[in-house]
Amino acid sequence: MTTQGSIRVVIVDDHRLVRQGLEAVLASAADIALVGQAADGRGAVDVVGDVEPDVVLMDLQLPGLSGLEATREILAARPDTAVLVLTMFEDDDTVHAAITAGAVGYLLKGADGEDILAAVRSAAAGQAVFGAAIAHRLQTFFASAPTRSAASFPELTDRERAILDKLAAGSRTSRSAAHCSSRPRRSPTTSP
């Protein structure tokens, strides 16, 4: 993902002072090269198309095209680009929306320079990156989630759900059916 040993980064933020601060942080790292900047979502899509970075540091609240929409467009055109959200918003809905849009990480703007550099390096290496507060909330969310949700497929009976669980665990159809005291059904197009 890197070019000539450097991680190529684009900064997207509508506040010039934030872009300048991030530029200074990135300039302190010999293995990271700032290759572009944008102050809005449409500009982000354009500059990423032009300079083909490894990582995009993306704010979410941008004029015109939002950071979420820009992330979707960037990843549709360049799926190998890692988008790392850097924002002030830490509510669950915004975190979920960013991850759903394809962001590989989520940091709050209160992160220090070393954390941002580490996050850029991790994102460039294909790793998911979350600030400590966000990571803790994600961990709590997934730890409290039931391991099996009947709400996912409410139309299934308990027996059908048991068969589906066996199939998801890698069991063969005939074994799953035998375990659930049933015979495997043949498809109407399958000859006996």
Helix (H) or strand (E) holding 5: none
**41 near 65, Cβ under 8 Å?**
yes
Rounded to an integer, the average pLDDT of 93-101 is: 91
Q: How many Cα atoms are found within 13 Å in the side-chain-facing hemisphere of 179? A: 15
Measured between alpha carbons, how far is 90 from 102 in angstroms, rounded to an integer?
17
The yes-or-no verdict on residue 99 having pLDDT over 60 is yes
Nearest to 58 by CA among 17, 109, 24, 100: 109
Lookup: tokens for 181: 């005291």
Helix (H, G, I), strand (E, B), or coil: what is residue 6? strand
Fold of the domain spanning 7-144: Rossmann fold (3.40.50)
Residue 11 has pLDDT above 90, yes or no: yes
Kindly report the average pLDDT of the chain as a whole number: 84
User: Which pTM does this prediction carry?
Assistant: 0.72
Q: Assess whether pLDDT exceeds 60 at residue 180.
A: no
Domain ranges of the chain: 7-144, 150-179
What the block records as the tokens of 6 is: 């450097």
Reported as a single tens digit per residue, the pLDDT across 64-87 is: 999 999 999 999 999 999 999 999
Max CA pair span of the chain: 72
Residue 30 has a pLDDT of 96
Please give the pLDDT value at position 5.
Answer: 66
What would the pLDDT profile of 105-134 be if each residue is shown by its tens digit? 999 998 999 999 999 999 999 999 988 878
State the pLDDT at residue 147.
Answer: 57
Positive or negative torsion for Cα 43, 115, 18, 87: positive
DSSP calls for 62-99: -SSS-HHHHHHHHHHH-TTSEEEEEES---HHHHHHHH
pLDDT at 138 over 80: no
CA distances to 9, 118, 150, 173 from 104, in Å: 14, 14, 29, 36
Strand order in the sheet with 105-108: 32-38, 7-12, 55-58, 82-87, 105-108, 129-130
